[in-house]
Structure 1
Amino acid sequence: MRLTNKTVIITGSGRGIGRAIALAMAKEDAKLVVNDVNQTAIDETVAMIKDLGGDAIGILADISDARQAQELAQKTLEAYGKIDVLVNNAGILRDAMLHKMTQEQWQNVIAINLNGVFNCSSVIGTIMRDQGSGNIINISSVVGLYGNVGQTNYAATKGAVISMMKTWAKELGRKGIRSNAIAPGFIGTDMVKGMPEHIINQIESSVPLGRLGKQEEVASVAVFLASDESSYINGEVIRVDGGLYT
């Protein structure tokens, strides 16, 4: 039970990698705050956590709105009295080639993937400073490190959250707060599995391990970073990509 007595907020945890992280942390006895913009998805994740015997609440909030991010933090404090870990996971895709990318596609991705991370980390980072302890984990992507065709907006945000994390590691580390990032490669989410079979085959052939990653394999790294086992890891980016860019 590596996360006993730790309160964890996971943004975008109604489904996908965020849900996988929530379930993995529930098994380690964390108190979980499930956040998303879809109430049905929130309720499903909370129910799954409780089926495991875990402790969880759901909070509907659009983190691209600074006021709603503030309310997310306040409701968490009202329920649990502290915030030990923030997992900035919420993110969207609006892919297009540079010459075809619209202002709407650009701004929508920036709003969630970048502004949302800032909004949550700003308010919760302040709470953690007052506590004298805390842990921020940003879910980035290998696209943020190496780029990808058709993902100018996504790559920009995922690279930026790495840069912000490294800045927080310096600013907040002296206050007892660690900041790290996880950079997944091609993970078998519903979105990826919905791609044409020949595309999936191409992806798998490009990965040295010869397969897509599992959501649980990202979640296990998040559990490690949230636990005291990683107490001297700060400002690090951990790739979970099967050796894709080795």
Structure 2
Amino acid sequence: MLIEGSVCVVTGGARGLGFAMARRLLAEGGNVVITDVSDDALAAAVESLGAGSAVLPLIARASVIEDVAMVAEATVDRFGGMDVWVNNAGFTRDATMRKMPVDDFDAVIDVHLRGAWLGTRAAADYMRDHGGGSIINVSSISGKVGNAGQTNYSAAKAGVVGLTKAAAKEVGFAGVRVNAIQPGIIRTAMTEAMPEAIKQDRLRDIPLGRFGEPDEVADVVLFLASPLSRYLTGVVIEIAGGRNI
């Protein structure tokens, strides 16, 4: 197993891509802390994962400093350490600039960018004093090229790239690696609900000719969490089938 005995945190790990990441890390021998803002989502995730005491579910808001500190402390208390932290929590509130409420801009920046900064800081504070570790920030292809109707989300995800590179330079001396991933269009319930014409239009932009699968994103997270990527830091890996190259 690639990460047997490692202790991993996945924020927003009860649903979507975060759930796929948690499942993959567990399958490779990790102990995993998953956070969410919903008790019901966490309970359903724990039941579905079926990993018993290897999973610790926690209610926590990614952008609240006290919650992030609690997650770090609870992780170490439960599993005796922390080796991997994935800043995945997020949501979208799409609208054109003209129609977007300022509160919706602030909320998306708050969770995606401030949340990633708080998580990176908390994880690095522990890891730099305990032999290093791997921090993985979830950006998006939207942070590379920008999406109309997503000025908030695109700005946040571009900021995550800058955060990743700056943090990698600050904590590399202590063996702490900080990398990011940029998923493209991944096949989820949301993408499956797209009108067929829109799906076909999006597919024309993807050289591999298909949408990605959640497990394909999780595989890259596993790679960055494992010793296979031990000489990578400050790197941004696109998982988009060649879209926007």
Q: Is TM more than 0.5 here?
A: yes
Question: Which residue number in structure 1 is paired with residue 36 of structure 2?
Answer: 36
> Residues 1-246 of structure 1 correspond to what in structure 2 (within 5 A)?
1-50=1-50, 55-246=54-245
d(CA) in 1 for partners of 2:195, 2:92: 17
- Could you tell me whether the CA contact under 8 Å between 2:32 and 2:54 is conserved in 1? yes
Range 99-108 or range 3-12, more displaced? 99-108
d(CA) in 2 for partners of 1:202, 1:224: 31
d(CA) in 1 for partners of 2:25, 2:169: 26
Range 99-108 or range 213-222, more displaced? 99-108
TM-score (norm 2): 0.96
d(CA) in 1 for partners of 2:103, 2:196: 30
- Could you tell me whether the CA contact under 8 Å between 1:27 and 1:54 is conserved in 2? no
Report Cα offsets for 1:56-107 as digits up to 9, x if no partner: 1101111111111111111111101111000001111011111111111101
- Could you tell me whether the CA contact under 8 Å between 1:23 and 1:48 is conserved in 2? no
Q: Which amino acid in 1 is paired with 2:244?
A: Y
d(CA) in 2 for partners of 1:143, 1:76: 31
In the TM superposition, what is the alpha-carbon distance from 1:54 to its structure 2 partner? 7.5
In the TM superposition, what is the alpha-carbon distance from 1:200 to its structure 2 partner? 1.5
Q: Which amino acid in 1 is paired with 2:128?
A: R
Helix, strand or coil at the partner of 2:129: helix
Percent of residue pairs identical: 39
- Could you tell me whether the CA contact under 8 Å between 1:129 and 1:177 is conserved in 2? yes
In the TM superposition, what is the alpha-carbon distance from 1:205 to its structure 2 partner? 2.0
TM-score (norm 1): 0.96
Report Cα offsets for 1:134-193 as digits up to 9, x if no partner: 110011101111111111000111011111010111111001100101100011122222
- Could you tell me whether the CA contact under 8 Å between 2:179 and 2:235 is conserved in 1? yes
Helix, strand or coil at the partner of 2:121: helix
d(CA) in 2 for partners of 1:197, 1:158: 27
- Could you tell me whether the CA contact under 8 Å between 1:13 and 1:19 is conserved in 2? yes
- Could you tell me whether the CA contact under 8 Å between 2:123 and 2:135 is conserved in 1? no
Q: Which amino acid in 2 is paired with 1:217?
A: E
In the TM superposition, what is the alpha-carbon distance from 1:47 to its structure 2 partner? 2.2
Q: Is there any run of 5+ residues in structure 1 with no aligned partner, and where?
A: none
d(CA) in 1 for partners of 2:172, 2:94: 35
- Could you tell me whether the CA contact under 8 Å between 1:30 and 1:54 is conserved in 2? no
Q: Which amino acid in 2 is paired with 1:44?
A: A
d(CA) in 1 for partners of 2:149, 2:211: 20
Q: How many residue pairs get matched? A: 245
Q: Which amino acid in 2 is paired with 1:37?
A: V
Range 122-131 or range 80-89, more displaced? 122-131
In the TM superposition, what is the alpha-carbon distance from 1:206 to its structure 2 partner? 1.8
In the TM superposition, what is the alpha-carbon distance from 1:122 to its structure 2 partner? 1.4
